[in-house]
Every structure is written in structure tokens, then in C-alpha cells.
Amino acid sequence: MSYDQNEGVIKQIIREIGQECTAQGQAVSETLVAFMVKAVCLDPRNHFNVDPILTKKDAQNLIQLCVARLLDTTNPSLSTIKMQVYFDMNYANRAELLSEQHRVLEGRLAPAVRDITDSRPRVQAEMENVYRKIVSYVLLSSGLGSPTDIEVVREVTAALQSVFPQTELVTFISLSKKSKEQQLKNLAMLVTGIRLYNKECGKGGSSIDDLPAILNEAIPSATQTIDEGLNTCHTLAHQYTALLESMQEDQHRFRQLSSFKLKEALFNVRQYEAFLCILLSDAITSAQEVGKMIVQFATTMDRLKNIVQNKVSVETKEVFPLFVALSNLWTSFQDEILLLSFLTNMTNNLQQFSEIHSQLFPEEVLTSLLEGVTVKSDEERIRETMGTGMNVSDFKNQEWLFPQTTDNFDQLPIQYHGFCAHAIGVKGLTLPGNPAIGILKHKERCYVFSSKEAAYIFAQDPDKFIQLNVEKAKEYAELFQLLELHHQFEYLAPYAQARNADKCLTKPTTKCDSSTQTDTHILPPTIVTSYEWNEWELRRKAIKLANLRRKLTHAMQTDLSYMRRETSTQVYLPKDAGTQTKRDNSSNVPRPQIFLEGLRGGSSPTTHMVRVDLTRAVDET
């Protein structure tokens, strides 16, 4: 069977498990089913081997086991896995949540922005229509009031006209599309700042909620709810741990409590505690940010009041930056409202996964089981082990870290979520580790322990106990997430990355990310200038070379030219010169006029010629 065929079988198995659970009234997500398939295959008690191809019988057995575990609603392990899937698929940190919210908001405003930037109004009516669209965009962008409220629309229009009168619309239309979008954002911030200032002065803003006051009231309430949940988690975790320790010490109590699934319940409450700690940290961060923003908002508002002071007009370069600052701070308040709502919903939705404790261990039952049992809190266990540090000389080949000799000791990445690395695999308990005893650094990973004795035992053969912890996680699939063992099982990625169900039963090929960097031109260019791709050009060159074979080259050397040195001379170059030897001139003389008479002869045999000179004298000309 090829890989593609095996992939199809896996998808078919997941599909059949989901259909079977739905038919029995239990709706399950594909992500949950995919992880459950992995968990069942890894559990050594089920005797599955992930290397060979699944046979039809193995596939049917796998389906039955997964359906049975998914329908066992009385098992805290299933509730823990569901809780992990829900949290991993829905939780986002501050940066991710706000980035997604801003992206969604821009997407909703995109049609309005496009409608404004693509408009080409020509007549007055079209101009007014575009201006109304700008008013709507400014109102929607700020989120301060409803576009259907006439009073709000008038307030926004008045604020917009004070910074962007309708006469400037012609200039706005001539801008490029990108410039229009930027100016729309600037106008939205200016109008928002003006409205907030007017609200502070009692001149409008009736539709604007007092977000700082709302946050000051809601954040402590949300924090208190999370604290109450944490206190309940701590109490149950301490009680379950005490009962499990009593089971290991007394065989009678072991038989009495073995059917209560105490380990699964302990892992559930520890996971619930870890998620609540994450939410509490976000709530505390939100409270700190809100406190800073309230101070900045009040300071900016006071500066703005001092500048304006009932003046008829003020310079824009003084007030516009303050209006923009007010708008940005108010947007941050809106973001904190969104974050607080998100944290509240997460806290409320996580409670459903811890309700199984009241079903399995009602208060009266838990009280009876705890009779004669000493319950210690995590703080008490840590206090008992204070001052019992490790002796480094006993383990010369091991590296131990202590708070007195290690920088950033509190920021070291502790394995197993800070639980004792020895107690997990040996006892199946999640005991809090005490870093003051000493942190063992083994193969670039840090481990803590609940007691000095546990640290000594673990340090003698760390690899053995690490493997025990891995085997324990295979038995209790919820430990993969709780102990953060994804580096031990690369193919068990976090649930948010487990949507590709085709990777459920196949061990992945070991991979690693690598990168190299070279200079752009580390070697000189190797372009062959004599290369010719044209066949006819090659033919011409071949013919030329063939002709050269019949040519002879002669050379000769004489004694006079042998070792002749170069010489040079310098002369004066002839200069250009010119002479004039004569002068051109002209004169005007009378034209000769001479007449002869009697040349034709006459009656007499003798010819008498008369010469008449009629030429004028020179002085008469």
C-alpha cells in the first residue's frame, strides 16, 4: 500500500469515528478525533505499532477504541483533551488578536473607502454625495455612535467641516488614490479627537461611552473571576495530590481510591490552572496598559484645554497633533475592551471542562476521602525544601544552575511546565519543582525537582527518567500539552497545527530547517566571449581558420635594428602668417565716341574722310 493509499485510510478512519460519535449523540471536531487517534496509537496498552501499514482489522479496532474514549464523558482525561483543543484553537495573544481585529475592521471599511476614492463628481449634487460618504466613513471608522442616529451624524458633520470644508473637496478629488486613503484616515482621527474634546467640554458626545470608566470597573471583575477559578484549582490540586500520595503509601487506600481516576482529575485541574494563569497574565497586562493610557489621555486633554482656552481660532500645528493623539488613545481603549471581552469569554468557556470534578467528587465524598490525610499546598512544599541545595561535587559530570551564580535565573526555560522531573514518571504526580534546590542542565534542557532526594536520583541517570516521563505521557495523552512534550513527539504538534489529519499514524521523516548565505558574486564572471550560438557564425570562423593554414608569416632581424633605442626630437611648428602686396582699386573714364564720315565714297573719284571725335573730356565726367 502506497503512502497516498495509507493517507486515504487514515482520513476514512477519522471520518468513520466522527460519524459514529455523532450517531450516538456526541458531536466531536475533526481536530479532536485526529488527536485521539494519535493518543490511542501511542498508548502502549493498546499494542499499536505506527510503523507498518494498518490492516483492516487494526483499523476497525482503532475505530472502536477511539469511539469508546470519545464517548466516555465520565473520564477527566477526555475533558482535559477537549479543554486543550478548545484553548489551542481559540486563544490568541494580544498582538495576534489586535492585528486580526484591525485587519477585519479595514476589510469592513474597504468598500466605503473604495467608493470615495473612485468617485469622480462633476456637478454640485455629486460633490455633496461624496461629502456625505466621507462623513459616514469617519463615523464608521471611529466606532463612536450609530450612522442612523441623526444627532451623531450632525455632530460628525460639524466636526468634519471645521477641518475639511466642502470647498476643499475639489482638491481632494485631484489627489492620487493612495493620498486620498491617507487623508481619509487623518480626517477620521482629527474628527474623533475633536468629538472627544467636545465631550470633555460638555458640548456633545452624548453617544460616546466612557471607556476608561468601563475598563476600570470591568478589569478588576474579570481578574477576580480568574483568581477565584485559580483558588479552586489550587485547592483541588492539593487535595488530589494528597490522596494520590496516600494511595502509594497505603495499599488499603490504593484499593479504595483506584477506581476514582484521581490522576486524570489531577491532570485536568493542573491544565485548567495553567490556562487560567495565561489568562490572568493577559488581564494584568491589560490593567497596566489601561492605567498608563488613562494618565496619557488626561495629560493630553489638559494640554489641549490650555491651548484652546475659549479662543476663537488656534493654529492647526498646535492642536491637530493633540487631536490625533486623543484618537489613538481612544482606539487603544477600544482595543482593551475587545481584549477584555475575549478574556472573559475564554474564562467562561473553560469552566465547562472543569465541571466533571463536581460530578466525580462531590463535596461530601471528597471530604470523607480526605479524612486523616494531610493536605499540603504547593507553597508549603516549596518552603519545606528551601535551604536544601544540591552538592555540586557529587555530580562532577553534571551542570547545575543556582540563583546565586546564574544570570536571569528566573527566566530559564524549565521543562515539564515547572513540575518535578522525577515525580512525573515515577509517581505519576505533578509536584511543583523548587528551583532553589538547583536546576539540572542536561542536553541543553533544564529540569527542576520537588526535593533534594528526587534531584539526586534523577541526576544519576537523567535519560532513564526522561524516557519514563515519555512513557507516562503515552498512557495519559493530556500530558503532551500539559508538560509541553511536543519536542519529544514532533508528529504530535499543537492542536491548532493538527488539522491535517493525514499525518496521524505516520512517523515523519526527521527534518531540520537550515539556511546558507553566499555573496552575490563570490567569483569573477566566467562569461566566454568567444561563445557563439549561431551555427552559421561558427561555420564562418571555421572557414577563416582553414584559410589561415595556407598563409605564411615572415619576420627578420638586422644588426642595426637590434636593441635600437627609441629617440625623439622637438621642433618648432611653423606658424600661420599672411602679407598683402597690392591694393585693389578702380576708376571711371569717359567712353570714347569717334565718328568717321565719307567712307562710302561719292560722285567724285577721290574719297574724302572726315574724323569727328565726340569723346567728353575727363574733367567733365
What 3 state SS string does 505-573 have? CCCCCCCCCCCCCCCCCCCCCCCCCCCCCCHHHHHHHHHHHHHHCCCCCCCCCCCCCCCCCCCCCCCCC
Residue at 555 is within a domain: no
- Quickly state the pLDDT bin for 386 (edges 50, 70, 90): confident
Could you tell me which residues are beta bridge partners of residue 399? Answer: 441
pLDDT at 609 over 60: yes
Please give the Cα distance from 485 to 497 (Å, whole number): 15
Residue at 588 is within a domain: no
Q: Are residues 345 and 411 in the same domain?
A: no
Percent of the chain with pLDDT over 70: 89
Residue at 298 is within a domain: yes
Tell me the mean pLDDT in the region 540-549. 86
Residue at 100 is within a domain: no
pTM over 0.85: no
Buried b / exposed e along 560-580 (16+ C-beta atoms within 10 A):
eeeeeeeeeeeeeeeeeeeee
pLDDT at 493 over 70: no
Radius of gyration of the chain (CA): 49
Percent of the chain with pLDDT over 90: 39
Please enumerate in sequence order all residues whose Cβ is within 8 A of that of 433, keeping only pairs 6 or more positions apart, or say none: 414, 416, 418, 419, 420, 421, 447, 448, 449, 450
Q: Are residues 195 and 295 in the same domain?
A: no
Residue at 154 is within a domain: yes
Residue at 142 is within a domain: yes
Q: Are residues 164 and 219 in the same domain?
A: no
Sign of the C-alpha dihedral, residues 19, 21, 27, 30?
A: negative
Please enumerate in sequence order all residues whose Cβ is within 8 A of that of 118, keeping only pairs 6 or more positions apart, or say none: 177
H or E element that contains 445: strand 445-447
Of 349, 370, 391, which residue sits at a domain end? 370
Q: What is the DSSP letter of 574?
A: P
- Dig out the grid coordinates for 195 from the structure: 468629538
Of 457, 488, 519, which residue sits at a domain end? 488
Q: Are residues 176 and 268 in the same domain?
A: no
Domain range for 461: 381-488
Q: Are residues 225 and 348 in the same domain?
A: yes
Quick: pLDDT tens for 500-523.
Answer: 444 333 333 334 567 777 666 667
Q: Are residues 411 and 471 in the same domain?
A: yes
Output the DSSP codes for 332-366: HHHHHHHHHHHHHHHHHHHGGGGTHHHHHS-HHHH
Please give the Cα distance from 151 to 140 (Å, whole number): 15
Q: Are residues 133 and 239 in the same domain?
A: no
Q: Are residues 412 and 271 in the same domain?
A: no
Residue at 500 is within a domain: no
Please enumerate in sequence order all residues whose Cβ is within 8 A of that of 65, keeping only pairs 6 or more positions apart, or say none: 40, 46
Q: Are residues 216 and 310 in the same domain?
A: yes
Mean of per-residue pLDDT scores for the chain:
84
Q: Are residues 226 and 353 in the same domain?
A: yes
Domain count for the chain, please give it: 4
Tell me the mean pLDDT in the region 267-287. 94
Of 201, 225, 244, which residue sits at a domain end? 201
Is residue 244 within 8 Å of residue 429, measured between CB atoms? Answer: yes
pLDDT at 492 over 70: no
Question: Higher model confidence: residue 608 or residue 621?
Answer: 608
Q: Are residues 187 and 216 in the same domain?
A: no
Question: Higher model confidence: residue 518 or residue 346?
Answer: 346
Residue at 451 is within a domain: yes
In this structure, of 71-80, 462-471, 520-529, the range with the lowest mean pLDDT score is: 520-529
Give the pLDDT score at 46: 80
Tell me the mean pLDDT in the region 160-184. 90
Tell me the mean pLDDT in the region 450-461. 91
Q: Are residues 421 and 310 in the same domain?
A: no
- Dig out the grid coordinates for 512 from the structure: 531540520
